[in-house]
Amino acid sequence: MNTIAQHWIDGQWTGSGSVLESISPADGTVVGSFYDGGEAEASAAVDAAAAAFETTAWARTPSLRATALSRLADALEARVPEVAAMLSRENGKLLGETTWEVSGAVGWLRYAAASARTQTAGRAAETAPGQYTHSVPEPLGVAGIISPWNSPIMLTVRALGPALAAGCTVVVKLPAQTALTNELFAQVLASVPEIPAGVVSVFTESGNTGAPFLVSSDKVAVINYTGSTPVGRHIAAAASTTLKRLGLELGGKAPMVIFPDADLDMVIPTVVQSLVLMNGQFCCTGSRVLVHRDIADQVRTRLTAALAQVRLGSGDDEKAQLGPVIDRASAQRVDAIVEEAASYGTVLLRGGVVTDGPLADGAFYRPSLIEVDRTDVRIVQEEVFGPVQTFEIFDDEDDAVAKANATIYGLAASVFSSDSMKARRIARRIRTGTVWINTWGAISEDFEEGGVKGSGYGYLCGPRAIEEFQALKVYVEQDHTQSAH
């Protein structure tokens, strides 16, 4: 690794300008230093990507792309422990979670390698006598990927894989909170000789000049952004001037709908896991617990007790269930939302910022559970991005669906019931991109992920992912020795 983490642009390591520090949210110590990027890095990367798209064989050779993606998967797999350990230090997730993330990204790259061979062919037909028509999915051009800090490897790879499989060249803007992890990932990319210079560039940015450049540049044909809904709206507006393709996976307020016939011995730990995974900083966090009135007392008691027992700890603590949020400012922001909610809801469990003991130097926040009887309040309507859940009671199926659909979000939901037909009936009525039945959080590279409503649009993973980075071109050829009429 470079002494100061650098950007990987046009096949070269580069770094200049401001040098910032990456701070561990677990204890406030300095993990390392990095060069902060911006518009200059974005512009250089876009120019390199545009040139590589036109001058290299990348966009026109599916077999090259398949081989490169397979080699990239191998290279990342060889460094899973190293990348996972650094990611845990920088963003505070437990080491088991970061290991799962990086290992999962390997699988997504292998899926993308297969897509490069199987989803780049077209179809052909004689559409009239002597008239031959064929359609071919072609790469859109330069793709810009803007990734968040909560899961930077997986959330980058699930867009990068299909973009490269399609034949696009790519510029990746990664977050400053994981700057040293970003360089490790760039090292993996740089180690694959089958990827020509300029095909993939990676830069890190703490500000907001490089990402807006990608969004507004007329050389960038498609943007994939994962992050908050307010920023997603801004990106959609800014991108409209160039009419570029957009894929947006935005915020979520995933409801966990629990019926009286659910297996509570399974449900309670599942609901807890849905909160603590990624330290509550996950777009699919089970932040809303919707419980049928008949079992409300039982679930309230059991869930409150389970959350109170959650063990906090740093990423390398094998017994920890919950790590820190990304920084102390975020911990204070989460606490302010909980404090406000206490004015209109009932506090079942008041967690809060850890201010004493061995974890006091970090950004740790104990879980909170707030019971509310309204859906028009901030803690229900806004993505908290921390270990905070609401407890809400419903009376029947219609009430459950109405409350589940009461936010602007539509990314994920869960339904718990031993009656499979009822569970499917409710799942069908909830407006969301993914719905889990008697589980939570299961994902597969074989099936699409995406949202509806304020959670965005477009798909990543599965067979439709590559289509986000392709345009269909139709060719019509006439044999004039035959009549087309």
Return the HEC string of 54-109.
HHCCHHHCHHHHHHHHHHHHHHHHHCHHHHHHHHHHHHCCCHHHHHHHHHHHHHHH
**How confident is residue 482, by pLDDT bands cut at 50, 70 and 90?**
confident
pLDDT for 483: 61
Mean pLDDT over each residue of the chain, to the nearest integer: 97
Q: Domain 7-250+451-474 in CATH: superfamily?
A: Aldehyde Dehydrogenase; Chain A, domain 1 (3.40.605.10)
**How confident is residue 75, by pLDDT bands cut at 50, 70 and 90?**
very high
Instruction: Kindly list the domain boundaries of the chain, sorted by start residue.
Output: 7-250+451-474, 255-437
**How confident is residue 1, by pLDDT bands cut at 50, 70 and 90?**
confident
Name which of 38-52, 111-125, 216-230 the model is least confident about: 111-125
Nearest CA among 122, 109, 123 for reference residue 66: 109
Q: If you average pLDDT over residues 452-459, what whole number do you get?
A: 96
CATH 3.40.309.10 holds for 255-437: yes
368-401 pLDDT, tens per residue? 999 999 999 999 999 999 999 999 999 999 999 9
Q: What angle do CA 440, 442, 444 make, to 5 degrees?
A: 160
**How confident is residue 352, by pLDDT bands cut at 50, 70 and 90?**
very high
**How confident is residue 120, by pLDDT bands cut at 50, 70 and 90?**
confident
Is pTM beyond 0.85? Reply is yes
Residue in the block written with tokens 């269930």: 321
Q: If you average pLDDT over residues 286-304, what whole number do you get?
A: 99
pLDDT for 281: 97
pLDDT for 485: 53
16-64 pLDDT, tens per residue? 889 999 999 999 999 999 999 999 999 999 999 999 999 999 999 999 9
Residue in the block written with tokens 């060069």: 35
Catalytic residues: 249
Tokens of 182: 């970003």
d(CA 72, CA 392): 45
